[in-house]
Amino acid sequence: DTGVSQNPRHKITKRGQNVTFRCDPISEHNRLYWYRQTLGQGPEFLTYFQNEAQLEKSRLLSDRFSAERPKGSFSTLEIQRTEQGDSAMYLCASSSFGQIYEQYFGPGTRLTVT
Amino acid sequence: GQQLNQSPQSMFIQEGEDVSMNCTSSSIFNTWLWYKQEPGEGPVLLIALYKAGELTSNGRLTAQFGITRKDSFLNISASIPSDVGIYFCAGIGDKIIFGKGTRLHILP
């Protein structure tokens, strides 16, 4: 399977704990995006990388959130001191240099904060 | 801020019927994307539109980029059970904005 993969698929954590999610994009794609999706809503943009450079961050990305893509391949999204409001599906997408607008999504990581 | 109004919110149709849904905005977009999402999965790209007035097909799906650049339409012809899911539009201007989705249900 050469699509976008995300791990874990599900994460249940207690409020106050830190969590980290991983995204592996399609191998030839140089852009990688993170989104958050809550029930009944469309995906909301969080941040994106071109290669290893983080080029844009949404104001939704509070100080407790940090994303990295150290070698321009996989990316991690960390949430520190989780809150119940962080419960959501976290989606990763990637796109190629030639077709930057055509974003291909992974299956997502469902986070539940108890 | 920019917003997309996607309608209808949900549709209940008989198998074999044609389906139409749309997205409108007060903002202009340079690109429109249509995605389908099934429960527990990420959105799957169906069609990308790059030019005002463009009409693009993908099998039984046809999408149009509105001439004003503020809207887009998706039609599904001769619906089948596997068409069930949530359809999202996304407009790209200086940001990417997703609609809230149209939930398609097919009655047995």
Residue B38 contacts A where some CB pair is shorter than 8 Å: no
Residue B100 contacts A where some CB pair is shorter than 8 Å: yes
The whole-number pLDDT of residue A1 equals 53
| CA A12 to chain CA centroid, nearest Å | 17
pLDDT tens, position by position, B91-104: 998 889 999 999 99
pLDDT tens, position by position, A1-52: 579 999 999 999 999 999 999 999 999 899 999 999 999 999 999 999 999 9
Residue A74 contacts B where some CB pair is shorter than 8 Å: no
Confidence of residue A79 (pLDDT cuts 50, 70, 90): very high
- Residue A28's Cβ-count burial label (10 Å; 0-12, 13-18, 19+) is exposed
Q: Which residues contact B60 (CB under 8 A, 6 or more apart)?
A: B76, B77, B78, B79
- What is the bridge-based pairing of β-strands A75-79 and A19-24? antiparallel
pLDDT tens, position by position, B45-77: 999 999 999 999 999 999 999 999 999 999 999
Q: Which residues contact A93 (CB under 8 A, 6 or more apart)?
A: A4, A32, A33, A35, A103, A104, A105, A106, B42
Q: How far apart are CA B8 and CA A109, in angstroms?
A: 28
Amino acid residing at A83: E
- Nearest one of B16, B24, B40, B29 to B74, comparing CA atoms: B24
The whole-number pLDDT of residue B60 equals 97
Interface test with A, best of B2, B30, B45, B56 (most A CBs within 10 A): B45
